[in-house]
């Protein structure tokens, strides 16, 4: 019997950490999994071949950017996003909510929709829960996210204690959370309409009739609002659930607390996705709190800024100390970059403005992230995740430093 178009099963647990398998129309994904971010249909600085070699099983596409250029209708006519970009493996698409959130000066949020102006040319645009669902139906991703509204954390007052300073307006956070639940219901209704009759709307080409949809839990850092959001979103019924509205300025220990509160309240038989997080130690800590899926631009963005993420921490390749350092970036790493090139050469490329430097750093950083997830899965399977977690924190440091490894 052929597998279901979309399914998820937890195969091992170790404390709250979970190992599982996500089955999609374009293949399976072993979890916990990290999804490289392919904003405009490409993960910056790396080819699909190198992504596969690094161990990527699933990538993320950006609904907002792909809708504006080249357009979801064009992509649908090409057979969907998988065909258009030449990636045969699973794809998750976001709803565009975070990008609209980032356009604070150019947006207007109403109950019906969010109106904004294109960052490309200022053209008036709008997204509703239904429209975001239609766009993703045309993209044909394996997993589509509902449109939500999130509230960021204001910058702390200089000199204040970030652990105790108020970071969010409670009334605004509640309004956004409740609207997100209402929008999630509308998005679900729309997807089920398209799923039941893919030809019901002649203006929408359904590129993947088996597309799954994830709901998003909001509520800022308020435990009560997070619990209310979980209850309202789970009641609607989705194939999976995401925790949104974090990594927007709150202290990292606050993020861990919110994840630790929220993840165990989500259904055990559905995947749990923490959106937009984060540093390698964040992945370890949030796996320990029950998260199955992650995405973040950090490994690719930091590579373009000359930072290598290693098992000991952050290596800033432009530093003069590496000018004649002929060691690999991380001697224990098995990636293509570490097997073939020295710190001195990579520094030369970065200082010369050669694009190859950013590519080689990207290859390493994504390999490091994906290899870390593979090691986490293996440890959960053997019941040794606690040891991996302890050993990781003993060696990894967030602060850029001189690395003599």
List active site positions. 94, 295
CB-based contact 36:299 (threshold 8 Å): yes
115 CA to centre of own chain: 24
Distance (Å) of CA 69 to CA 62, 63, 120, 121, 141: 11, 10, 9, 11, 17
Neighbours of 254 (CB within 10 A): 17
Token pair of 91, please?
Answer: 């794809």
SS3 content of the chain, % helix, strand, coil (to 5): 40, 20, 40
Q: How far is the C-alpha of 71 from the C-alpha of 199, rounded, in Å?
A: 20
Token pair of 23, please?
Answer: 């089955």
Task: Report whether the peptide linkage leading into residue 278 is cis, meaning its omega lies within 30 degrees of zero.
Answer: yes
Burial profile 98-125: b = 16 or more Cβ within 10 angstroms, e = fewer: bbbbeeeeebeeeeebbbbeeeeeeeeb
CB-based contact 300:365 (threshold 8 Å): yes
Pairing of strands 124-127, 143-145: unpaired
Pairing of strands 212-217, 240-243: parallel
Distance (Å) of CA 6 to CA 9, 21, 277, 369: 11, 11, 24, 25
CA atoms within 13 A on the CB side of 329: 35
Q: How far is the C-alpha of 297 from the C-alpha of 38, rounded, in Å?
A: 9
DSSP code for 397: B
């Amino acid at each position: 019997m052929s597998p279901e178009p979309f399914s998820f099963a937890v195969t091992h647990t170790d404390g709250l950490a979970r190992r599982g398998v996500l089955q999609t129309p374009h293949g399976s994904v072993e979890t916990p999994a990290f999804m490289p971010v392919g904003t405009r249909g490409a993960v910056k600085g790396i080819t699909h071949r190198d992504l596969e070699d690094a161990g990527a099983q699933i990538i993320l596409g950006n609904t907002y950017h792909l809708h504006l250029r080249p357009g979801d209708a064009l992509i649908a006519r090409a057979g969907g996003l998988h065909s258009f970009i030449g990636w045969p493996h699973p794809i998750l698409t976001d709803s565009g909510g975070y990008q609209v959130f980032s356009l604070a000066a150019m947006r207007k949020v109403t109950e019906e929709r969010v109106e904004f102006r294109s960052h490309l040319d200022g053209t008036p645009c709008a997204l509703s829960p239904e429209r975001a669902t239609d766009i993703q139906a045309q993209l044909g991703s394996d997993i589509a996210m509902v449109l939500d509204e999130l509230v960021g954390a204001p910058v702390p007052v200089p000199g204040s204690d970030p652990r105790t300073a108020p970071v969010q307006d409670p009334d605004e956070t509640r309004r956004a959370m409740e609207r997100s639940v209402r929008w999630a219901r509308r998005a679900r209704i729309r997807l089920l309409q398209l799923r039941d009759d893919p030809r019901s709307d002649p203006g929408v080409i359904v590129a993947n009739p088996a597309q799954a949809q994830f709901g998003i839990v909001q509520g800022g850092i308020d435990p009560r609002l997070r619990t209310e959001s979980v209850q309202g979103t789970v009641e609607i019924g989705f194939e999976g659930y995401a925790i949104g509205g974090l990594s927007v300025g709150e202290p990292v220990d606050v993020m861990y607390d919110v994840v630790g509160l929220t993840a165990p309240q989500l259904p055990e038989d559905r995947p749990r996705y923490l959106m937009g997080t984060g540093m390698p130690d964040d992945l370890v800590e949030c796996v320990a709190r029950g998260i199955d899926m992650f995405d973040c631009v950090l490994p690719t963005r930091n590579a373009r800024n000359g930072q290598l993420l290693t098992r000991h921490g952050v290596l800033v390749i432009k530093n003069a100390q590496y000018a004649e350092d002929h060691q690999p970036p991380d001697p224990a790493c098995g990636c293509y970059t570490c097997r073939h090139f020295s710190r001195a050469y990579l520094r030369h490329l970065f200082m010369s403005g050669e694009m190859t430097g950013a590519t080689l750093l990207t290859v390493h950083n994504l390999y490091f992230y994906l290899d870390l997830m593979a090691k986490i899965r293996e440890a959960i399977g053997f019941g040794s995740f606690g040891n991996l977690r302890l050993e990781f924190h003993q060696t990894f440091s967030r602060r850029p430093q001189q690395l003599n490894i």
